[in-house]
Amino acid sequence: MRLAALSRWYETEPVPPMPGAPRYVNGVARLEGTAPDPAALLAALQRLEEGAGRQRPYPNAPRTLDLDIVAVDAVLRTAPDPVLPHPRAHLRRFVLEPLRDVAPGWVHPRLGTTVEALLAALPAGDLPVPIGG
C-alpha cells in the first residue's frame, strides 16, 4: 500500500466532550494498493499507537495517537473487528471534513450517501478548524 493523499489537519474538541481536555488534531490519509486483511491492518495501526505511547485506561481516554480505519473500498464487515465502514464515521464531522479533502466523491458503502450529503445532514456543532490555512 502507498499513501495517495493526506488531508489538511483539523483541530476539534474531543468527542464525547471532556472538560479540561486538550483539543484534538484530526486528519485522513487515503491509501492505495492491495489492502491487507482489515484485521491485520488494524493490528498494525494499534502497534503504531502503542509505539507512540498510547494507553487505554478507559474508553475515550485522551490519547497521544488514535488511528482508525474509516473504510476499505466498498467492503461491508460486521465482525470481527474492525467493523467496516467505521460504525460512527458518518456521524463525526471531524472524520468527514478531512475525508472530503482526500475523497470528495466518496460514497458511504452501507448508506449509499455521499460525504457531502453526510456533512450536510450533521448539526452545525463544533466545526473542525483547519490548521495552517
**pLDDT tens across the length of the chain (133 residues):** 899 999 999 998 887 788 888 888 999 999 999 878 999 999 999 999 999 999 888 887 778 888 999 999 999 999 889 999 999 999 999 999 999 999 999 999 999 999 999 999 999 877 899 998 6
> Three-class SS of residue 26?
strand
Residue whose C-alpha is closest to residue 63's, from 79, 51, 75, 78:
51
Task: Please provide the size of the chain in residues.
Answer: 133
pLDDT of residue 133: 60
pLDDT of residue 19: 85
Domains of the chain: 2-128 (3.30.70.560)
> Three-class SS of residue 21?
coil
Rounded (5°) CA angle 68-11-35 = 25
